[in-house]
Amino acid sequence: MQRKMDLLPQISFSILMALSLRPRHGYEIMKQAEEDSLGKVKMGPGALYTAIKQLAGEGLIEETDTGNKDRRRYYKLTKKGWEKLNAELEYYHNVVKIAKHRTAYENFGWQNV
Amino acid sequence: MSPARRFRIYRRLLNLYPAAFRREYGEQLLQTIADMVDDAPSPAERFAVWLRISLDFPLTVCKEHFQVIGDRMKAKKQQGVGRVTLISTALFLLPIIIVTINRLLMLSGPRRGVPTYYLIVTSAIFPLLAVALAGSTLLRLWRGNGAVRPSLRQAGPLVFILLASLVLLCWIISQDISYYNLTH
């Protein structure tokens, strides 16, 4: 039997997406999330670290040493984080596929799909 | 200058977050705010940044505290007490809420609401149930040198609820009789 998939909240998903490119610190994550969502996801610092705490607690992200001398902490995806991100992306890919199929059916009928 | 010194007010406000969260992420929060403010080129954008922070702050403080309460309750639930505490508290609070709403209804018009006297009598069932629930759970959890037999522990909730119902019934009947005597 297939296990039920728990989708991540929007902010958590955006954080994983931002960290999929390279390790980042808090503000970089915020900026990347905003950029990835075309300005739609704008989180405050509290929301960011609440989500980071949750993601770190679930073992999806972890702190990493980048060798920088500043006070900022950098985060990266763990193996589990990568798996979760891929599962989420696959889910959204399927949703878009179904939605496109439905739109085509609505517009042109079954014969043309 | 370090972010902690630059944002003294915000650093004090950070104390409103739960201690564990503050210890873990307090400095990072300040650093992120410093980055946000430094990255805003104009006063208008800086204002927008502070507006975002002001809206975000109370929400996340509440969220973190609820998270702490939730975690504590989860831990207690594992011991079998958390849910009972919550239900008992809710049952104790219910009559107060009911009577308050009724009072407001009565104030809003002479024909609205039920006389408070009857409401208090009928809503008394909630505190009694709460006592029954809490008592039975304590009995169930009590592990005193085999003084309470397992069968009695299992029957505990039923015994307490029956006793509570009996007390309530007696009370309602007595109140009803005195109300009848008053009106006739």
Contact call for residues A52 and A26 (beta carbons, < 8 A)? yes
Between the alpha carbon of residue B78 and those of residues B73, B112, B163, the distances in Å are 9, 45, 28
Q: Which element (helix H / strand E) includes A25?
A: strand A24-25
In A, minimum Cα distance to B65 occurs at A50
pLDDT in tens, B124-178: 666 666 666 666 666 666 655 555 555 555 555 566 666 666 666 666 666 556 6
Instruction: Quote the CA–CA distance of B161 and B164 in Å, as a whole number.
Output: 5
Residue scoring higher pLDDT (B122 or A16): A16
Given a cut of 70, is residue B179 above it in pLDDT?
no
Mean pLDDT (chain A, rounded): 87
pLDDT in tens, B78-94: 555 556 666 666 666 66
Q: What is the secondary structure of B53-104 as a DSSP string? A: HHHHHHHHHHHHHHHHHHHHHHHHHHHT-HHHHHHHHHHHHHHHHHHHHHHH
> Confidence class of residue A79 from pLDDT cuts 50, 70 and 90?
very high
Contact call for residues A49 and B56 (beta carbons, < 8 A)? no
Contacting B with CB below 8 Å, chain A residues are 25-27, 30, 42-50, 52-53, 71-73
CB–CB of A46 and B61 under 8 A? yes
Given a cut of 90, is residue B72 above it in pLDDT?
no
Provide, as residue numbers in chain A, all residues whose Cβ is less than 8 Å from the Cβ of B27.
71
Between the alpha carbon of residue A35 and those of residues A13, A40, A78, A103, the distances in Å are 14, 8, 23, 28
What lies within 8 Å, CB to CB, of A82 at 6+ separation is: A20
SS3 assignment, position B52: helix
> Which of A15, A43, A72, A75 best probes binding to B when mutated, by most B CB atoms within 10 angstroms?
A72
Given a cut of 90, is residue A81 above it in pLDDT?
yes
What is the model's pLDDT at position B91?
Answer: 66
Provide, as residue numbers in chain A, all residues whose Cβ is less than 8 Å from the Cβ of B52.
42, 44
| Average confidence (pLDDT) over B113-125 | 59
Q: What is the secondary structure of B12-46 as a DSSP string? A: HHGGGS-HHHHHHHHHHHHHHHHHHHHH--SHHHH
Strands A24-25, A61-64: pairing kind: unpaired
What lies within 8 Å, CB to CB, of A8 at 6+ separation is: A16, A84, A88
> Confidence class of residue B8 from pLDDT cuts 50, 70 and 90?
confident
- What tokens were used for B79? 């011991």
> Confidence class of residue A46 from pLDDT cuts 50, 70 and 90?
very high
Percent with pLDDT over 90 in chain A? 65
Determine which of B5-19, B78-92, B95-109, B140-154 has the lowest per-residue pLDDT on average. Answer: B140-154
Provide, as residue numbers in chain A, all residues whose Cβ is less than 8 Å from the Cβ of B32.
25-27, 30, 45, 48-49
Mean pLDDT (chain B, rounded): 72
What is the model's pLDDT at position A1?
Answer: 47
Instruction: Quote the CA–CA distance of B49 and B88 in Å, as a whole number.
Output: 44
| Average confidence (pLDDT) over B37-50 | 90
If you count them, how many residues does chain A have?
113
| Average confidence (pLDDT) over A45-54 | 94
Given a cut of 90, is residue A61 above it in pLDDT?
yes
What is the model's pLDDT at position A55?
Answer: 95
pLDDT in tens, A14-27: 999 999 999 999 99
Domains and CATH numbers, chain A: 10-107 (1.10.10.10)
What is the model's pLDDT at position B94?
Answer: 66
Q: What is the secondary structure of A74-113 as a DSSP string? A: EEEE-HHHHHHHHHHHHHHHHHHHHHHHHHHHHHH-GGG-
